[in-house]
A = this chain, B = another copy of it.
Amino acid sequence: MENEVDGLDKRKAYILATVVYEYIATGEPVGSQALTQKYNLGVSSATVRNEMADLEAGGYLEQPHTSAGRVPSDAGYRTYVDALMSPEELGADERRRIRDEMRDARAQLDEIVEQSSRLLGRLAGNLAFVTKPQSETQSFRYAQLIWIGERSGIAIIVTSFGVASQSLFELRNDVTPDDLTRLSNALNANFAGRLLRDCDERSLAAVTKQCGFGDDMVGAVRAAFTGARTQEQPGIAASGAQHLLDQPEFRDVRKLRSILRILEEQRTLYDLVADAFDSPAASVKIGHELGSEELADLSLVTVPYRFGERAVGMLSILGPRRMPYARLLALASGTAETLSERLHDVEVR
Please list the residues of chain A having a beta carbon within 8 angstroms of any beta carbon in chain B.
107, 118, 142, 144, 146, 148, 154, 156, 158, 162, 164, 166, 168, 239-242, 245, 250-251, 253-254, 256-257, 260-261, 263-264, 348-349
Bound-complex Cα distance A348 to B169 (A): 11
Does the CB pair A348–B168 fall under 8 Å? yes
Cβ B144 vs Cβ A156 within 8 A: yes
Nearest to A117 among chain B residues (CB) is B264
A148 to chain B: which residues have CB within 8 Å? 142, 348-349
By a CB distance below 8 angstroms, the chain B residues around A156 are: 144, 156, 164
User: Nearest-CB distance from A20 to chain B (Å)?
Assistant: 26
In the bound complex, do residue A168 and residue B162 qualify as a contact, i.e. CB atoms below 8 Å apart? yes
Minimal beta-carbon separation of A102 from chain B (angstroms)? 18
In the bound complex, what is the Cα–Cα distance between A245 and B142 (angstroms)? 47
How far is it, in angstroms, between the C-alpha of A118 and the C-alpha of B148 when the chains are bound? 33
On whether the beta carbons of B264 and A239 are closer than 8 Å, the reply is yes
Contact of A257 with B245 in the complex, beta carbons under 8 Å: yes
Contacts of A118 in B (CB 8 A): 264
A147 to chain B, nearest CB (A): 9
Q: Which residues of B contact A251 (CB under 8 A)?
A: 253
Interface of A is mostly: mixed
A144-B144, A144-B146, A242-B257 known; 15 new pairs, CB 8 Å cut-off, are A118-B264, A146-B158, A156-B164, A162-B168, A164-B166, A168-B348, A240-B264, A241-B260, A241-B263, A242-B261, A242-B264, A245-B254, A245-B257, A245-B260, A250-B253
Nearest Cβ distance between residue A341 and chain B, in whole angstroms? 18
- Interfacial chain B residues near A242, Cβ < 8 Å: 256-257, 260-261, 264
Specify the chain B residue showing the minimal Cβ separation from A349: B148
Contact A162 B158, CB 8 Å, known A242-B261, A253-B251, A261-B242:
no
Q: Can you list the 7 inter-chain pairs with the closest CB atoms, starting with the nearest?
A: A242-B260, A164-B166, A242-B257, A245-B257, A241-B260, A242-B261, A245-B253
Q: List 25 A-B contacts (CB under 8 A).
A: A107-B168, A118-B264, A142-B148, A144-B144, A146-B158, A148-B349, A154-B158, A154-B164, A156-B164, A162-B168, A164-B164, A164-B166, A168-B348, A239-B264, A241-B260, A241-B263, A241-B264, A242-B256, A242-B257, A242-B260, A242-B261, A242-B264, A245-B256, A245-B260, A250-B253
A213 to chain B, nearest CB (A): 20
- Determine the residue in chain B with the shortest Cβ distance to A152: B349
Chain B min CB distance to A148 (Å): 7
Q: How far is the CB of A232 from chain B (nearest CB, A)?
A: 11
CB distance from A144 to the nearest CB of B (A): 6
Task: Tell me, rounded to whole Å, the shortest Cβ–Cβ distance linking A54 to chain B.
Answer: 38
Q: Which residues of B contact A349 (CB under 8 A)?
A: 148
Contacts of A144 in B (CB 8 A): 144, 146, 156
Using Cβ atoms and an 8 Å threshold, which residues of chain B touch A107?
168
Give the distance in Å from the alpha carbon of A245 to the alpha carbon of B144 in the complex.
48
